[in-house]
Structures are given as C-alpha cells and as structure tokens.
Amino acid sequence: MNYSFRKDNDWLLIGATIILSLFGLLMVYSASYVEGYLRFENPYYYVMRQGMWLGLSSVAFIVLMHFQYRHFQKITPLIIFMSIVLLILVKLIGLGEDVGSSRWIRIGPVGLQPSEFVKLGLIIYLAHVYSRKQAYIDDFVNGVMPPLIIVGVMFGLIMLQPDLGTATSIMLTAILLVVISGAKWRHLIGLVMVGGLVFAALAIFEPYRLRRLVSFADPFANPDGDGFQLIHGYLAISNGGFTGLGLGESMQKLRNLPEGHTDFILTIISEELGFLGIAIVFLCYGIILFRGVSIGTKCKNPFGSLLAFGIVFSLAIQIIFNVGAVSGMLPITGVTLPLVSYGGTSLLVTLMSVAILANIHQNNERQKRKQMDEGESLSA
C-alpha cells in the first residue's frame, strides 16, 4: 500500500463503518442465540450467516472502493434494467414470511432481497440523469419529471411485494435528490403533495396496513396484537438505563420480542448496553453521515456530488425509519438498522454504498492534489 493510497482514503469514514459492522455482528449474536437454538438447535445459526455475509460484503467493499465511480454512468441503463427484472422475479418466484408477501428470491442456498439493490441502483440512476439535466432542471416536464416515471415503476413493483417501508424510503430519497439537484420549490411542493396522497391511499385501501400505521400511536390498545412488539420494545429500552444489564443479559430476547435481531435490534442494544451502547451506534452513524455530506459538498463532479448525497439521504432515511419505529414515534415498517441488524442483503448493499462514498473521496483528494501540483508548476 503506497503513501498516496493511504493519504487519499477517508479513514474516519472507513473506521466508523468497520466499528459499526463488527459491533452489529456482536449484537446479532447476543440478540439471536436463543432464537437460533430454539428454531435450529444452533445458537450460532444467525451470527454465522451474518458473519459469512460480512465477509462477502467486505470483499465487495474493497472492490468498489477502488472502482472508479464515474464508470457507473456507463452502465446505468443496465442497472435499471436489472433492477426491474429482479423486482419482477420477486413477484414471480419470490419467497415471503406471510401469505401474499414475496420479498426474497433464492439463488442456491442464498436468499437475496432485490429491493435493497434497487435502492442503490435508483440512486445511481437519478444522480446520473439529474447531473446531465442541470441546464434545464427548472423545467418540470423535461427536467424533473422523466426520471420520476422510473421511480414510480420501481415504487409500484416494490408495493406489489408488498414493502411499504422500502417503497417509501425510495420515494423520499428521490424527492430529496430532486431538491439537491436544484428544482423549483413549487415543483417540489407538488411532488410532496402527490407523494403524501399516494401514501395515504395505500394505507386507507389496505386495512392491515392502516392498522399497522396507527397502532404505534397507542400500542396498549391492542397489547396482544399489533401493539405487542412495540410494548416489549419499550420494556427492553426501559430495562437498560445508562449502562444496561450487561452483554447477553437481555430478558426481552427470550422470545418476548419479535424480530429482536432484525429491525428491533436497537432495543436489545439498549437493554444490554444502555445509553452507552446507543451512543456508540449514533456516534458511528453521525461520522458516516457527516463524512458523506462533506464528500458530496466537496465533489466538483455533478454526478459524484449527487451520488454521495443520494447515499447519505438513503442511509439517513433508513436510520430515521428504524429508530422512529422502535421508539414509537413512527409506524413499524420492518426497515432494518443499517450495518447492525441481521440481514445479509442489507449489509452488503450498505457496505457497497459506503465504499462508493470512499471512492468519491479518493477522487476528490486526487483532484485537489492535482490542482495543487499544477498551481505549483505554474508558479515555478
């Protein structure tokens, strides 16, 4: 590893990502070993699978960190085509935990959740298209609207699974990218209103979805039904205090808290490690998001800048959805906590996204150093 490579890397971003990924692996084991033993007679079942995904994701991270991000522009049509194909395959041959639900496809022994890849693919697509439309981004019909048709198609296909959490996060990320691209405010207000109407319609016309969305307001109204998970999440959080009960000492994970190792893992962290454990998680997230914003701001290439901001928006929305759900401030939508929750596809795509941020940073540093060298040459 040469000096310029070491100097060009964003070690703060990379370090926070490594810490959070390893911490997540530890907490997946702590939160799942009881469930693993009861379901598979193997307390290491979930952590072994997560560990294998972490190994695969680490390889992808290293590869993408050295993959020139500008090359994504050349394969954007292929990315969108494959995203649509994957979402169609999910509906045709997908697997799901509930009747009528299909969110995964199986390739041999591996289960994949295509909507996670679609989130990143759409960010790349929108960054590519809007970076080329900067000259007429204030023209709604020609500048803003055409890419949103693709977003609408993706949104519809994901809702067919159904997966309201992922579909909503994609829609919000797209709107935020339109904002950062420089569209007019009246166009943005219109998009937000349309998005709100679509969201309301999807909730109203599906009774089970409406119950889930409103149950967070008063989980104690149905403590053995829709409110069960949130109530036991509250109990886990309240048990933790400042320092927690100790690693591995959670009581709620003893089959009292559904999905304690996936989207409700933050409550197990709170119960076992208390406020200090939560602080570690949010410190790492703060570093990753802050570095992402800094990278996007400093990037002189419009595509790279929009790509960085899109990744930051997507990660921030996912964090907000998860934290909001476990705290009772937002409806429970099944959105996982990035880098921490159990889930191989989510882990893989998140590490790929951070790797792209790291690559954009490398290019920023090399461009800055090149300009400095040219300036010195001219002055000499």
CA dihedral 293, 276, 318, 322 (to 10 degrees): -160
Amino acid letter, residue 139: D
Domain for residue 47, yes or no? no
Which structural domain, as residue segments, surrounds residue 277?
Answer: 72-334
E strands present in 15-155: 105-107, 110-112
Q: From residue 293, how far is each of 1, 135, 232, 305, 311 by CA, in Å?
A: 27, 23, 35, 9, 9
> 111: helix, coil or strand?
strand
Please give the Cα distance from 374 to 107 (Å, whole number): 51
Please state the φ and ψ torsions of residue 105, each to the nearest 5 degrees: -125, 150
The pLDDT profile of the chain, 380 residues, written as one tens digit per residue, is: 444 446 789 999 999 999 999 999 999 999 999 889 889 999 999 999 999 999 999 999 999 999 999 999 999 999 999 999 988 888 777 665 543 456 778 776 777 888 999 999 999 999 999 999 988 888 888 888 889 999 999 998 898 887 888 888 999 999 999 989 988 888 788 888 887 787 777 767 666 666 666 667 778 777 777 788 888 888 899 888 888 999 988 888 887 787 789 999 999 999 999 999 999 999 999 999 999 999 999 999 999 999 999 999 999 999 999 999 998 888 888 889 999 999 999 999 999 999 999 999 999 988 887 777 666 665 65
> Is the separation of the CB atoms in 115 and 166 below 8 Å?
yes
Please give the Cα distance from 130 to 180 (Å, whole number): 10
Would you give the distance in Å from CA 216 to the centre of its chain?
22
Domain for residue 107, yes or no? yes
Q: Can you state the angle between helices 265-298 and 228-240, rounded to 10 degrees?
A: 80
Nearest Cα neighbor of 158 from 147, 146, 171, 145 is 171
Entry pTM: 0.92
Domain for residue 363, yes or no? no
Exposure b/e, 195-206, CB count within 10 A at least 16 = b: beebbeebbeee
Nearest Cα neighbor of 231 from 31, 239, 269 is 239
Domain for residue 9, yes or no? no
Residue 140 pairs in a beta bridge with none
Q: Which two tokens stand for residue 375?
A: 């300036």
* Predicted pLDDT at 72: 96
Please give the Cα distance from 250 to 267 (Å, whole number): 10
Amino acid letter, residue 95: L
> Is the separation of the CB atoms in 249 and 236 below 8 Å?
no
* Predicted pLDDT at 214: 67
Number of domains in the chain: 1
Please give the Cα distance from 172 to 359 (Å, whole number): 25
Domain for residue 307, yes or no? yes
> 257: helix, coil or strand?
coil
Domain for residue 86, yes or no? yes
Domain for residue 184, yes or no? yes
Domain for residue 5, yes or no? no
